[in-house]
Amino acid sequence: MASNACTFQNLTLLLIICFPLANSIDFNYPAVFNFGDSNSDTGDLVAGLGETLDPPNGQTYFKKPSGRFCDGRLIVDFLMDAMDLPFLNAYLDSIGAPIFRRGCNFAAAGSTILPATASSVSPFSFGIQVAQFFRFKAKVQEIQAKTRKFDKYIPAQDYFQKALYMFDIGQNDLAGAFYSKTLDQKLYDQGARNFWIHNTGPLGCLPQNIAKFGTDQSKLDELGCVSSHNQASRLLNLQLRALSKKLQGQYPDANVTYIDIFTIKSNLIANYSRYGFEQPIMACCGNGGPPLNYDSRIACGQTKVLNGSSVTAKCCDDSTEYVNWDGIHYTEAANQYVASQILTGKYSDPPFADKMPFLLKLKF
């Protein structure tokens, strides 16, 4: 179902919010609370709707499906690892006594900023996720007022003040939300002072979009990507950059950082062999074979009867050779590369490389 919600690759808006003094970037956070969609969902949609993610999802790192739409770890996982924090447990996944001491993940694949409709893949829209967080916080405070025996499972009271709040929000309704009070004024009024805005990647390079809009070779660029989609990404990114500048001027006591994900991912696809990849566009897990190995009728790991024959969307032999996992999402290896580039600080405006004390401790 998440695949249907992602007709276009999600445009990432990552707002990293903390509550210490403004103009002071500090990555030594005691906890992280994440909100978003499939780009950072670590199991919410699967747990919340009883969905099933079939193998080979999760095979690279977790050795089984982990609730992530990927063969392994997501960008958020690598960011957590770089900060020496454990992976975030999904809020709705209650099996196995999940530990929320260092944070919680409310992101659910297919979620949007605007309220969900009857046709929405995920009912857990941004507003619902925030409401879940408020209930989570209230429940933690209620438990702490009664007993301390659950302290190792839940955040300390001061963690909510010192934590990092990350918002990874879908593109489908992003444009309208940018100029509402939801994402800037309201968060600012509540004390938010540190924002990361990630622009959108090259949407035209996703097998899903190439399969649907790139059948005419004249519509493809030199990389084999749909030119119109990438041009749309560039135009939207110009607006995102302008928004960043606007917010920087509007809130002089806040830290607003613009991250150029488009350049990071475009560089990966254009120079894939330099970074150890062999397939910049073709999906690792899918059906149909070269050049895209993508079939919208069957998701990764599924077996269906197509045209009278039983077909399985199988995985490639080595996902580390592929940039794209399932036609829509990136592989763990590609996520690792993107995270490593984010953490250099070189693709941010303003740059923050000199303010990242954990850079020398990167584990990838």
Domain boundaries defined on the chain? 2-277+334-361
Question: Per-residue pLDDT averaged across 169-197, rounded?
Answer: 53
pTM of the entire predicted model: 0.83
Tokens of 40: 């950072």
Calculated CA dihedral for residues 31, 35, 36, 38, nearest 10 degrees: 50
- Confidence (pLDDT) at 310: 96
Tokens of 102: 């260092």
Question: Is 329 a catalytic site residue?
Answer: yes
Catalytic entry in 37, 81, 295, 326: 326
Tens-digit pLDDT profile for residues 139-158: 999 999 999 999 999 999 88
Percentage of the chain beyond pLDDT 70 is 82
Q: How many CA atoms lie within 13 A of 211 on its CB side?
A: 23
Catalytic entry in 41, 44, 111, 329: 329
Catalytic entry in 38, 40, 233, 319: 38
Question: Is 38 a catalytic site residue?
Answer: yes
Instruction: Indicate if the pLDDT at residue 113 is higher than 80.
Output: no
> What are all long-range contacts of 296-305, with beta carbons under 8 Å and residues at least 24 apart?
296/208, 296/211, 296/212, 296/327, 299/3, 299/54, 299/326, 300/54, 300/56, 300/57, 300/325, 300/326, 300/327, 301/53, 301/54, 301/55, 301/56, 301/57, 302/54
Tokens 């097998």 belong to 207
Tens-digit pLDDT profile for residues 51-105: 889 999 999 999 999 999 999 999 999 989 988 999 999 999 988 778 999 999 9
pLDDT band at residue 178 under the 50/70/90 scheme? very low
Instruction: Indicate if the pLDDT at residue 249 is higher than 60.
Output: yes
pLDDT band at residue 184 under the 50/70/90 scheme? low
CATH architecture of 2-277+334-361: 3-Layer(aba) Sandwich (3.40)
